[in-house]
Structure 1
Amino acid sequence: MKKTQPVFKKFYSGYQGAGRDVYVESESHDTFVLIQKKYLNDYNMTSIMRRI
């Protein structure tokens, strides 16, 4: 039984493509995107609350 290579999708690319790209397996790509959205949302709310 031949083991198949996992397929990766680019998740995050920082520093204008200076080799610091983050790749995740394509099956879990959607999950990572949801986590990132939730994190950014929470982070924005936190910084808003700090200013008040």
Structure 2
Amino acid sequence: MSGVPFNMLKHLKEECSNISKKFCNILYDLDNINNKTKNNKRSRVEAELSDDSNG
């Protein structure tokens, strides 16, 4: 019976590690999406400003 808690702890440690990695990947992806969105908005604003100054 003493091996059961150890196996459970080992399994939980592995699962927590997997969840942590997935969570980090999700945050990384969200950060990239936010950066792309900011860059696209900047480009649009800059284009609109240059169009306004030409007209």
Tell me the TM-score normalised to structure 2 length: 0.48
Larger radius of gyration: 2
Q: Relative to total residues, which structure has the larger helix share, 1 or 2? A: 2
Is the aligned partner of 1:47 residue 2:31? Answer: no
Q: Give structure 1 regions of 4+ aligned residues with deviation exceeding 3 angstroms.
A: none
Is the aligned partner of 1:33 residue 2:41? Answer: no
In structure 1, stretches of 5+ residues that fail to align are: 1-5, 8-24
Identity fraction in percent: 0
Q: Relative to total residues, which structure has the larger strand share, 1 or 2? A: 1
> In the alignment, residue 44 of structure 1 is paired with which amino acid?
C
Distance across 1 between alignment mates of 2:20 and 2:31: 17
The number of residues matched between the two structures is: 30
- Structure number with the bigger relative contact order (C-alpha 8 A, sep ≥ 6) is 1
In structure 2, stretches of 5+ residues that fail to align are: 33-55
Deviation at 1:34, TM superposition (A): 0.2
Cα root mean square deviation, aligned = 1.5
Tell me the TM-score normalised to structure 1 length: 0.50
